[in-house]
Structure 1
Amino acid sequence: MSRGRRSLRLLTGCLALSFGSGYVAVADPVPAGPTADGRPASAAEPFCYDEPSNPQADLRDLKAAFTSANWMQTLQAMYKRRWPSGEKLAIAQAKDKYWDQFVNKRSFEGFAESMMVAIHEETHMWDLDPSRTKWDVHIAAWINGSQQALQVPVRGGFPRKEILPLIKDKLTTSMDNIYLRDKTQGAYLLQGVLAEQNAGLTGLPSVTVVHEFIKGVGASNARDIAATNLRYLLLYLRVAKDKHPDYWAKIKAEPKLRDLVLTQFLRTAYWLEKSAPYTGVVGGPDADKITATNYAPENIAILEEFTGRKVRLDAHKHCTA
């Protein structure tokens, strides 16, 4: 499959999820703990996921100077001030020709709103570059500006549509129809689950940090997407253990994969909490409901069994216990 065809399909899926609105209760931000560096699952002491961001940094000069010709310069400067990991990803992907498919250049507000799709897709482009990823064998993941997972074994797997029987509610129906029920998408293995999880999660901070400029609904499901993709990952692990014990044994023996799963769980908790005050702009009414199901005892049990680490279930969900 060509890179261009794949990109268009991903864009279609992401855009299909970007419309919707609603409000949920706003949570207070959780104080950040020490940064999780390197390989978290092997760390002896508890740790917390963290990364720099400053959603209050002044962008008035960038907004005033914005044109369709300086959008990449603006993107990098905007994230340098508010989310340095986004700046570094933009620099790493600056020469990618597919940016133009994703970026709205008509106004600064439209530009900010389009970042959910743009950063989502450029995360895919970085992660799935053939120099880093061998399909269904090993993957890469851009986690943040100082941490990227490389050569993470996935050992094949089973079609992700097999998790559908474990979804008992309608909270994620729109994404289920795209990623699980679609004939092509539903056949993707663990790599598909992890790739979509990472791209969807990276799209959340991209709009969280520019929330005040977003006037439309193009980013209104960012929190829902992050929560749903974590749901898929946890359910995939449960099906692996229950229905594919040989595969479960293989992936459970891969330290890099166990570490990545733990990091992504804590990172999702971190950005869902950071973005909670902006629900209605970067999240729909179901994001917190989906998150609650992710913390069901059976999901926490599979996470802790797979990673070998306990996670906190209090106000510091971005931390291990």
Structure 2
Amino acid sequence: MSRIRVLSMVTVLLALAPMAGTAAATPAPRPAAPYCYEEPSNPTADVSDLKARFTGSNWLPTLQAMYERRWPSGRGLAVAQANDQYFDQFVQKNSFEAMAESMMVAIHEETHMWDLDGSRTSWNQYTSAWITAARQDLKIPLHDGFPRREILPLIKDRLSDSMDGIYLRDQTQGGYHLQGVTAELNAGLMGLPAVTVVQEYIKGIGASNARDIAATNLRYLLLYLRVAKSNHAAYWAQIKNEPKLREFVLTEFLRTAYWLEKSAPFKGKLGSPDADRITATNYAPENLAILQEFTGRQVRTDTQKNCTT
């Protein structure tokens, strides 16, 4: 090969190669667009005709029609679970008001029944979650985990003490892993809107801790993630590498903010003052930091807490 031809080839190769000291151009990842959690509800829709026709024996079609007008996600769940033999055991049937008030427990428990059905969930391995009538997250990987009682040292107050006694200090319940944490939070986030949209019919104390349940179980999830990172590095790496779980955690955080805001005008009947105090701790810097690290998203802390930045 002639010297001229060699020089020509070298010139071409140099022209095609990146310049010395520079890297090949790689497009920067686009920042994710802001996302706000919302869902349809119409808490002022007229249900007076349903109240007038209520007999107790027609509780199921009545609550389905009630939620069809006021909260479609509740209607969807009530239709999906219509054949559950235990459904009516959670419903008070002596009056329309009693039925409405019992919906916190009934919808909470039926959410468990749907989420934890063996066709959708394998205990400690993967879970499913009814979120809205249009969205159900299926088979979210969990990779087992560790007993949730391990978060107790991070709770420095007594704001959630009554629930801590049930879910964390109890010998059996305290041994539940991430499955228990996510299941209780998701059920709480169905029980809260279930009574928020019918709050004018609530006359007693049957729904008086609905806001506390949501706020407390979000607290448990955030603390669980913190303990996972600090004490269980291998497990932390596993779950942080699961996009479906990361998306689910973000959704549940924003969803909690959404329904706590929607229910705030009725906090006297739907929760104790501790619900707002627990919520304030959920927005402490260390909790927002673990949420951001796990999900890769920042959330707003202004009047639109149901949104990312």
TM-score (structure 2 length as normaliser)? 0.90
1:79 is aligned, of 54, 67, 75, to 67
Structure 2 Cα separation of the partners of residues 279 and 109 of structure 1: 18
Of 107, 116, 119, the residue aligned with 2:104 is 116
Structure-2 separation of matches of 1:168 and 1:145: 38
Note the C-alpha offset of 1:44: 2.1
Give the total of aligned pairs. Answer: 280
The 3-state SS of whatever aligns with 1:151 is strand
In structure 2, what is the equivalent of residue 61 of structure 1?
49
CA deviations over 1:265-310 (Å, ceiling 9, x no partner): 0000000000000111111111100000000000000000000011
- Which contiguous aligned blocks of 4+ residues in structure 1 show a shift greater than 4 angstroms? none
For residues 12-40 of structure 1, give each alpha carbon's deviation from its aligned partner in whole angstroms, at most 9, with x where no partner exists: xxxxxxxxxxxxxxxxxxxxxxxxxxxxx
Aligned partner of 2:254 among 255, 266, 270: 266
Partner in structure 1 of residue 128 of structure 2: 140
Aligned-pair identity in percent equals 72
Secondary structure of the structure 2 residue equivalent to 1:106: coil
Distance 2:109 2:282 in 1: 25
Matched, 1:46 2:34: yes
- Partner of 2:262: helix, strand, or coil? helix
Q: Give the Cα separation in 2 of the matches to 1:281 and 1:253.
A: 41
Instruction: Give the secondary-structure state (helix, strand or coil) at the position aligned to 1:238.
Output: helix
- 1:150 aligned counterpart, secondary structure: strand
Name 1:216's counterpart in structure 2: 204
The whole-number CA distance in structure 1 between the counterparts of 2:31 and 2:135 is 16
- 1:84-99 aligned at under 5 Å gives the runs 84-99=72-87
Paired residue for 2:266, among 278, 282, 290? 278
State the one-letter code of the partner of 1:186: G
Letter in 1 for 2:234: D
Distance 1:282 1:57 in 2: 20
Matched, 1:256 2:237: no
- Highest Rg: 1 or 2? 2
Give CA-to-partner distance per residue, 1:240-281, whole Å, 9 cap, x none: 000001100000000000000000000000000000001111
Aligned match of 1:229: 217
Aligned 1:235-254 pairs, distance under 5 A: 235-254=223-242
* Shift in CA distance, 295/108, structure 1 to aligned 2, threshold 3 Å: same
Unaligned runs of 5+ in 2: 1-29
Shift of 1:169: 0.4
Cα deviation code 1:106-147 (max 9, x no counterpart): 011110000000000000000000000011111000011111
Structure 2 CA distance for aligned equivalents of residues 258 and 47 of structure 1: 14
Task: Say which SS state the counterpart of residue 281 (structure 1) adopts.
Answer: helix
1:291 aligns to what?
A: 279
Deviation for aligned residue 1:168: 0.4
Secondary structure at the aligned position of 2:39 is classed as coil
SS at match of 2:292: helix
**CA–CA separation in structure 2 for the residues paired with 1:156 and 1:212:** 42
Rounded Cα–Cα distance in structure 2 between residues aligned with 1:57 and 1:292: 32
Structure 1: runs of 5+ lacking an equivalent: 1-41
- Say which of 169, 185, 189 aligns to 1:181: 169
Amino acid at match of 2:307: C
Distance (whole Å) between structure 2 residues aligned to residue 295 and residue 145 of structure 1: 29
- Residue in structure 2 matching 1:102, options 85, 90, 110: 90
RMSD over aligned Cα atoms: 0.9
Deviations 1:46-84 (A, max 9, x none): 110000001100111111100111000000000000001
* Structure 1 residues 116 and 304: CA distance shift in structure 2, 3 A: same
Q: TM-score, normalised by structure 1?
A: 0.86
Secondary structure of the 1:280 match is helix
One-letter amino acid matched to 1:88 = G
Q: Residue 39 of structure 1 aligns with which residue? A: none
Cα 1:66/1:316, change in 2 over 3 Å: same
